[in-house]
Amino acid sequence: MSASAAQPADAQRTDARRGRGVQRENTRARLIAATVELLGARSLDALSATDIAATAGLSNAAFYVYFRDVHAAVLAAVESVAQLPAGIVELAAQPWTAQDADSSVDAFLAGYFAHWDAWRPVLRARNLAAEEGRPEFVIARQLGSQVIADAWQRQIAAGQAAGRIPARYEPRPLAHVILALLERTGAVQRDYDDLGPAWHAEYTGAVKHTLLAVLGFRRSRRGV
């Protein structure tokens, strides 16, 4: 058979493989989306492969083609949403000054809390599982926070160079203190929505004040 005659068959096989790959990716994405949806209504321990598959409109057998168990599906969901948007990370890393710190922290907290609002069930499930000592979730949490931790370290180093933050503090542990503050406030901020928007504004203002204080800035001009 000539090369010219074989080429169409090769191309067909390539297209078929590509089509199967797209189908697998779509099926896996459906299972991850179903996992995210169910985490909005129940705890990690209450999830089952059967429920995830049914929510995705697939069979149990299809679930196990892609994930060995429920925890693997949740970890895949975590990996799909855990990273903060690049613009928020860049904002944390870019050295703030006394002139722009107030507006910078406003913009950062708006983006950070919006990310938590969008993915709260998944992020809370990750953090709760990590706090229970499940190693795979501890690792997922560490990986998900590494980029923003590095950004805060750069921000802290800039504050030390400017003389706002005492040089005796190591940037890395201080960055993780900031992360702990932000993760906890992001996780629980909506638990108090029944207290109304005024309370939520005060809550955000308290986070802002604490973050500015840690970074060595004075209170904002509005006194927050």
Residues 117 and 182 in one domain: yes
* Whole-number pLDDT of residue 222: 47
Instruction: Choose among 75, 87, 140: nearest CA to 112.
Output: 87
In a domain, 163, yes or no: yes
In a domain, 21, yes or no: yes
Residues 48 and 112 in one domain: no
Residues 103 and 184 in one domain: yes
Residues 94 and 147 in one domain: yes
In a domain, 224, yes or no: no
Give percent of the chain above pLDDT 70. 87
Residues 98 and 11 in one domain: no
Q: Which residues of the chain have pLDDT under 70?
A: 1-22, 218-224
What total of structural domains would you count in the chain?
Answer: 2
Express each pLDDT in 7-41 by its tens digit: 566 555 554 455 556 678 899 999 999 999 999 99
Residues 7 and 104 in one domain: no
pTM summary value: 0.81
Residues 14 and 60 in one domain: yes
* Whole-number pLDDT of residue 189: 86
Give the residue numbers spanning the domain of 145.
Answer: 82-214
Contact (CB, 8 A) for 211 and 105: yes
